[in-house]
A and B are shown apart, each in its own frame.
Chain A
Amino acid sequence: MTASPGAVPDAVLSIEGLSVRLPAGADRDRALADVSLSLAANEILCVVGESGSGKSIMANAIMRLLPDRVTIDSGRVMFEGRDLAAASPAEMRKLRGASIAMIFQEPMTALNPLRTIGDQIGEMLSVHTHLARGEINARVQALLADVHIPDPERAAKAYPHELSGGQRQRAMIAMALALDPKVLIADEPTTALDVTTQAQILKLIRELQQRRKTAVLFITHDFGVVAEIADRVVVMQHGVVVEQGPAQSILADPQHAYTRQLIAAVPPLTAPPPRALSDEIILDLSNVSKTYRSGGFLGRGARVTAAVKNVSLVLPRGATLGIVGESGSGKSTLARCIVRLIDPDSGSILLQGRDWAGLRRAELRRETRHIQMVFQDPFASLNPRRKAADLVAQGPIIHGTPRAQALADARDLFALVGLDPSAADRFPHEFSGGQRQRIGLARALALKPAVLIADEPVSALDVSVQAQVLKLLVDLRERLGLSIIFITHDLRVAAQICDRVVVMKDGMVVEHGATADVFGNPWHSYTKALLNSIPGGHFARGREGIPS
C-alpha cells in the first residue's frame, strides 16, 4: 500500500480517497472529495468541522448508512483487510454493531421508546451471539455498571424516557460497547447534553477507550471537546480534509488558515476588561416566580414544577447581564416572563420604573416596543412566508409607522446589522443561519427598544458565525447604548459579552456578580462545577478574547 496522507502504522480502519456524491440539486456535487485518513488502535481521532463539512456523511459512509441517492463515488474504506465500500449488505449487517459500533447525538431518538434499556442492550447480544438468556442479563448488568449508571439493575428495567439525557447517552454507549467493537464511531455524542453531563460523558469515553483499547472516531464541531479528548485531529471543510495531525501540534500550531480561523473562533474563558456601568437601573426584577402545574384531576396527582423561584436581579442601563444555567434551570422561562410571553405568578418587573408584570394585554401590546427579544433558532423564529424586509418592518408598522417609511428604515437596519440591503426582498430560507440571526436582531432593533432580551442567540450557529454575531452584538451595544439580558448555557460565550453574570440552577439564582469575579473566583459549588466542566478549559483559559 502506498503511503497516503494521514496513514498511520497499525491502522484499524483506513479511508483511502473516499468520495461521496450528492444528488443533483444539492449545494455541491460531492459531500466528500478524496478524503483519506486512518484510525489506529487505541486512539481517539477527532474529526472537526462546521455544519456542511461532510463529517457526519463520512461516519455514515463508513457504516454504509448513507441516505437515499447519496452514493459512494470512489475510494476504499479498509477494515480488517476488507473494503467496506464494496461489501455486500449482508456482510455490513454482520459488521455493524459487532465490529464497528456507533453512538449518536440524540440518545432519545436513537433508543426505542417502547422497550426497556436492558432489553435493547440485550438485543445486541442475542442478534450477534448465541448466549443464553441468563448470561445476556448478566452481561447487560456488567455493561451498565461499566458505564457508571447509578443502580444498573433498575436502569435495565427503565424505559428511555425515565432516564436523564446523560444516563440515556451512557446506555447508548453501553449498547455500542456490548460486543467489544474494534472501532467506535461517536457522532457529536455530547452536543445535546449539558456542560456538566458532557464533561462526565467525555471522561467516560476516554476511560472506556483506554481500558478496552478501542479505536474511537469522534466527530465534533467544538474545539474545546477536541482539546479535551483527542489524540489526533482531522479538520474538514466543505468535504475536504484540510489538515490532520497530532492534537497537541494542531491546537498549538495550526497550519491551515481554516484551522486557525476555527480555533480563533472558540471563545476564550477570560472576560474582557470590565466596563464602567451606569448607576441607573433600567430593569429591576424582584421575587419573580413561575410555577407550572400539569396533569391531575381536581387537584389530585397533579405535578407541580417551580420553573422560576423568587428571582431578583437588576440590569443597569447600558449593561449586559448574562443569565447562565443548564437545561431546566429556568433561564428561558425567566426570559419569557420578562417579555411577558409567559405571565409570572408573582413578583414585580420594573422597566424604567414602571411595573411591567401588572400590565394588561392591550397596554402590553403598546408598550412591548420598549423590550424586545432575539430568539434562539434562526430557522424557526422567522415566518417562512414573509420577505426579510417585511419581517423587519412588521414591528414598526404595528406600532404606527407608515409602511413606506418602515420599509425604508428596514433597509437601513439591514446595513446596521451587516446585511446587504439589496437582499431585503428575499425570503428567510434564502439566508444562512448567521444571516437569519442578523435579521432577527434587526427585527428586534427596529422598534428601538430600551432593553434587548437575547435567548441563546448564538447557540444554533457554527463557531465562526457565532463569533461574528457576538462581535456584532458588542458593536451595536456600544453604538446604540443597548441594555441587554443575554441568556446562554455556554459560559465561554457569556464570558465574552457580559458585564455581570447570574448563575441559575433549578429556577433559583445561586450566584451573581461581575463577570470577571464569577468566572475568576466562583464561590458557589455549582458555579465551580460548571466552570470545571467546560471542555478544554485549560485551552480556553489560556487564550485572549476577541479583539473588539
Chain B
Amino acid sequence: MDAIKRYVRSPAAVLGLVLLLGIIAMAISAGHVYPRDPLALAGRPLIWPFSNPRFLLGTDNSGRDIAAQIFYGARISLLIGGAATLIAIAIGILVGALAGFYGGWVDTVLMRITEAFQTLPNFVLLLVLVAVFGSTLTTVTIAVGVVSWPAPARLTRAEFLSLRNREFVQAGRTLGMKDAQLILGEILPNALPPVIVYASVVMAVAILLESALAFLRLSDPNVASWGNLIGLGRDVLRVQWYVSAIPGIAILVTVLAVSLVGQGLNDALNPRLRGR
C-alpha cells in the first residue's frame, strides 16, 4: 500500500512507532517481568536508582519498586488513553456527522451544545465529573473521553459540510440511497483520515489529563499509574526528585511517540499536504 510506504519513509514517524511499540511491549510483559503486585512493599523506601540491582529504578517513599510501577503504569496509561480516545472520537463523529449532514436546526442545536462544552476548561469539567461520580478507573476513563469530544466533532462536521454537496453524494441520492447509507457508506470513509490523525492528539491529551488528575490524587488510587507515582513523589520532590521524574519521562516519551505516529499518519494519509 502507498500509505504504508510513505509512512516508513519518514524517520520521525518510524521512531514514534518504535517507541510506541516499546511502550506496548512494556504493558504486555509487565506481568512476566514483575510477577508481584507493583503496589506491594518491596524493600526499603527511597532507594536511589541504579544503587541496588534488585530495584533498577529505585523505590518510592513507601518502598515500592518504581520500575514495576512504570511497567504496570504503561497498561493504565495506554488503557485510559485508548479507551478515552475511542469514546471521544465516537461521540465526536456522531455529533459532527449529524450536524454536518443535516445542517439547519440539527446543526444549530448540536453546535451550541458543542460550544457549551468547549467554553468550559476541560480539566475543570473533568474535576467536576470525577468529584461527582468518584474516581475508579472506569469513571476516570469515561470522564476523560466525555471532555475530549468537541474538537473531533467540529473536525468531522467541517469534513461533512464540504463533502455532502459533492457530486458523488448527489449521485448516491439519485441512486435512491437512504441517509444512513449516504452518511456511513459514502461520506464517512472520505471524512475519516483527518479524524484518525486527530485521534493521536486526543490520545496524547487523554494520557496527560489522567496524569494531571493522578497528580492531584484524584485518580484511581488502587492501580499503579504514572500519575499516581508523580503524585506520591510530590512529597519528596526536593531531595528524591527521581520519584516524580522517572514517571514524568515515561509520560513524555509516550506522548511524544503518539504525536509522532499521528504526524506520520497525517503525512501518509494526506500526501498532498506535505512540504507545506
Contacts of B181 in A (CB 8 A): 398
**Does B44 make an interface contact (CB < 8 A)?**
no
**Does A394 make an interface contact (CB < 8 A)?**
yes
> Which residues of chain B from 259 to 276 have any CB-CB distance to chain A below 8 Å in the complex?
275
Q: Are A373 and B186 in contact (CB under 8 A)?
A: no
Q: Are A373 and B171 in contact (CB under 8 A)?
A: yes
Question: How far, in angstroms, from A385 to B187 measured CA to CA in the complex?
Answer: 10
Q: Mark A368-393, 1 if CB is under 8 A from B, else 0.
A: 11001101110011111100000000
**Does A256 make an interface contact (CB < 8 A)?**
no
Most-contacted residue by chain A among B166, B174, B275 (CB, 10 A): B174
What would 29 A/B residue contacts be, using CB atoms closer than 8 Å? A68-B275, A341-B173, A341-B174, A364-B176, A365-B177, A365-B178, A366-B176, A368-B174, A372-B174, A373-B170, A375-B167, A375-B170, A381-B167, A381-B171, A382-B171, A383-B168, A383-B189, A383-B190, A384-B168, A384-B190, A385-B189, A394-B172, A394-B175, A395-B175, A399-B176, A440-B171, A443-B175, A444-B174, A447-B175
Q: Are B170 and A341 in contact (CB under 8 A)?
A: yes
Question: How far, in angstroms, from A443 to B176 measured CA to CA in the complex?
Answer: 12
**B154 shortest CB reach to chain A, Å:** 23
The bracket for how many chain A residues form the interface is 20 to 34
**Does A59 make an interface contact (CB < 8 A)?**
no
Question: How far, in angstroms, from A444 to B166 measured CA to CA in the complex?
Answer: 17
Residue of B nearest to A376 (CB): B167
Interface residues of B (CB under 8 A from A): 166-168, 170-178, 181, 186, 189-190, 275
**A369 shortest CB reach to chain B, Å:** 7
Residue of A nearest to B275 (CB): A68
Q: Are B176 and A373 in contact (CB under 8 A)?
A: no
Question: How far, in angstroms, from A369 to B190 measured CA to CA in the complex?
Answer: 25
Pick from B168, B174, B275: contact of A382, CB below 8 A.
Answer: B168
Q: Are B175 and A377 in contact (CB under 8 A)?
A: no
Pick from B168, B176, B189: contact of A365, CB below 8 A.
Answer: B176
Taking A341-B170, A376-B167, A398-B181 as contacts, is the C-beta distance between A385 and B175 under 8 angstroms? no
Question: How far, in angstroms, from A409 to B260 measured CA to CA in the complex?
Answer: 46
What would 10 more interface pairs be, CB under 8 Å, given A365-B177, A375-B171? A341-B170, A341-B173, A364-B176, A375-B167, A375-B170, A380-B167, A382-B168, A384-B168, A398-B177, A399-B176
Q: Are B167 and A377 in contact (CB under 8 A)?
A: yes
**B183 shortest CB reach to chain A, Å:** 13
Residue of A nearest to B177 (CB): A398
Q: Are B174 and A381 in contact (CB under 8 A)?
A: no
Pick from B175, B189, B275: contact of A368, CB below 8 A.
Answer: B175
Question: How far, in angstroms, from A341 to B171 measured CA to CA in the complex?
Answer: 9
**Does A339 make an interface contact (CB < 8 A)?**
yes
Q: Are B171 and A368 in contact (CB under 8 A)?
A: no
Q: Mark A326-370, 1 if CB is under 8 A from B, else 0.
A: 000000000010010100000000000000000000001110110
Most-contacted residue by chain A among B166, B171, B176 (CB, 10 A): B171
Question: How far, in angstroms, from A372 to B176 measured CA to CA in the complex?
Answer: 10
Question: How far, in angstroms, from A444 to B171 measured CA to CA in the complex?
Answer: 9
Q: Are B168 and A380 in contact (CB under 8 A)?
A: yes
**A418 shortest CB reach to chain B, Å:** 20
Most-contacted residue by chain A among B172, B175, B275 (CB, 10 A): B175
Q: Are A373 and B174 in contact (CB under 8 A)?
A: yes
Question: How far, in angstroms, from A372 to B173 measured CA to CA in the complex?
Answer: 10
Contacts of A444 in B (CB 8 A): 174
Contacts of B172 in A (CB 8 A): 383, 394
> Which residues of chain A from 409 to 424 have any CB-CB distance to chain B below 8 Å in the complex?
none
Question: How far, in angstroms, from A444 to B174 measured CA to CA in the complex?
Answer: 9
